[in-house]
Amino acid sequence: MSIPPLVDPGPPLPAGRAARFARHLTLPGIGAEGQRRLAAARVLVIGAGGLGAPIVQYLVAAGIGLITVIDDDRVERSNLQRQVLHGEADLGRPKAESVRDAVARLDPGVHVTAHVERLHPAGAVELFEAHDLVLDGSDNFATRYLVNDAAELSGTPVVWGGIHRFSGQLSVFLPGRGPMLRDLFPEVPDADAIESCAVGGVLGALCGVVGSAMAVEALKLLCGVGEPLVGRLARYDALAARWDELRFAADPDRPAVMSLEEIAVLCEVPRGRPDDISADEVAARLGGSGLTVIDVRTDGERAASEIPGSAHVPLDDILDRGWVAVSGALHEAGGDIVLVCQAGLRSACAIDALAASAPADAALRNLAGGMDAWAAASQGR
């Protein structure tokens, strides 16, 4: 499926800029006119991490005129294995600002705007409408479906990608002209349905493969060259060094996206629970009396990281046996019983399940943010 260029050509390039992009100027389908389209393009990149870094790096090298990067996260040392626009000097900085400054070093002729925030339903449609193309390198389901829905409402094309361990995938969604994410994956998965990079790991160079492929799709769309991945899911297996493809079509029975109200619920930042306890407080009380930490994650997750001295009682066991499953793991009678999972969702579920069978004086606490919060707090200790 070929589509016309997303962007009209801008003015002729100055001699210095033309020399910079000389290898594009001789390419069939791009040439001087295509390079002028790239210079006039406005591109929004969701995420400044594993995928966002190579995406931005190659969009800048290609001469995109305006790039907006949105990300609410900060650079951590564990990011540097794959997020190639950040360095040791950027530790603790907002990723969006780190990427913006890296771009200034690569090509000061490209304008980059950094939004240090998470994409939010309020204003998402207007933000999409201000850009010609969106590249989604986010790392959570709520944002991915928000991107889909905002794209449908605004009519903005999306290049979408994802990575996990040794595999990656990408596709192109053209509202009104091809199937969308909700046609490919109709239901929004649970937030922790797939383990995070921190738990499952990810091959660093894989981010470059998938992020670069996403940048290629973006350049094709902006210039109107080649066949974009519309209705096709490209999948890459790094261990087998093999690409394959899944074709999919729009579901005629899927209701059209009419508003962002549904996805807004999933995008809300959890307000916390009255039984929450912080990672810093747990760390301060470890090894003392009056505290038992119970890890409800799977064996594989616990093998990757654990809180010292914690007991392991998987959530499935708690759901099956209730308080009996937990009581044998208690260090002492009384005191706080802190339940922990990866992000704080399954541990909260465990507490709710125990409510019916736990003794009235059982002080059940939920580690706010789970092991993700524990890892972040550990870096500061």
> What are the tens digits of pLDDT across the range 113-135?
999 988 988 889 999 999 999 99
- More confident position, 242 or 264: 242
Number of domains forming the structure of the chain:
2
205 and 250 co-located in one domain: yes
DSSP 340-372: E-SSSHHHHHHHHHHTTTS-TT-EEEEETTHHH
Domain shared by 232 and 344, yes or no: no
pLDDT of residue 272: 59
**Pairing mode, strands 276-277 and 242-247:** unpaired
- Going by DSSP bridges, is the β-strand pair 311-312/242-247 parallel, antiparallel, or unpaired? unpaired
Is 5 a domain residue?
no
The reply to whether 259 and 289 lie within a common domain is no
> What pLDDT is attached to residue 309?
92
- Whether 143 maps to a domain, the answer reads yes
Note the Cα 316 to chain centre separation in Å.
Answer: 27
- What CATH number does residue 226 fall under? 3.40.50.720
Alpha carbon distance 195, 265 (integer Å)? 22
CATH number, domain with residue 373: 3.40.250.10
Q: How confident is the model at residue 163 (pLDDT cuts 50, 70, 90)?
A: very high
How far apart CA 329 and CA 120 sit, in angstroms, is 41
Mean pLDDT over 342-347 rounds to 81
Q: Does residue 165 share a domain with residue 102?
A: yes
Output the pTM of the full model.
0.74
Confidence bin at 346 (pLDDT 50/70/90): confident
- Per-residue confidence at 193, pLDDT binned at 50, 70, 90? low
Give every strand in the sheet of 291-295, ordered side by side: 276-277, 363-367, 336-340, 291-295, 311-312
- Whether residue 304 is found in the same domain as residue 374: yes
Residue 41, pLDDT score: 97
Task: Share the mean pLDDT of the chain.
Answer: 90
Q: What span, in angstroms and rounded, lies between the C-alpha atoms of 263 and 120?
A: 10
Query: Same domain for 348 and 249?
Result: no
> Active-site residue numbers?
197, 341
Query: Phi/psi class of residue 344: alpha, beta or left (left: φ > 0; alpha: ψ in -120 to 50)?
Result: left
In angstroms, what CA-CA distances link 284 with 122, 240, 334? 38, 46, 18
Give the model's pLDDT for residue 168. Answer: 96
Task: Give 195's pLDDT tier (boundaries 50, 70, 90).
Answer: low
Q: Which of 267, 287, 311 is the last residue of a domain?
A: 267
* Single-letter amino acid code for the residue at 340: V
Whether residue 2 is contained in a domain is answered as: no
For residues 203 and 157, state if they share a domain.
Answer: yes
pLDDT of res. 194: 59
Which residues form the domain of 228? 15-267
- Beta-bridged to residue 158, according to DSSP, are 134, 173
Instruction: Tell me the pLDDT tens digit for each residue of 44-76.
Output: 999 999 999 999 999 999 999 999 999 988 888
> Does residue 213 form part of some domain?
yes
Residue 234: predicted pLDDT: 97
Q: Which pLDDT value is given to residue 268?
A: 67
Per-residue pLDDT at 302 exceeds 70:
yes
Q: What is the pLDDT of residue 237?
A: 96
Together in a domain, 163 and 238:
yes
Helices (H), 42-117: 52-62, 95-106
Q: Which of 93-102, 261-270, 302-311 has the lowest mean pLDDT?
A: 261-270
273-297: b (≥16 Cβ within 10 Å) or e: eebbbebebbeebeeeeebbbbbbb
CA distances from 359 to 75, 312, 350, 355 (A): 43, 20, 15, 8
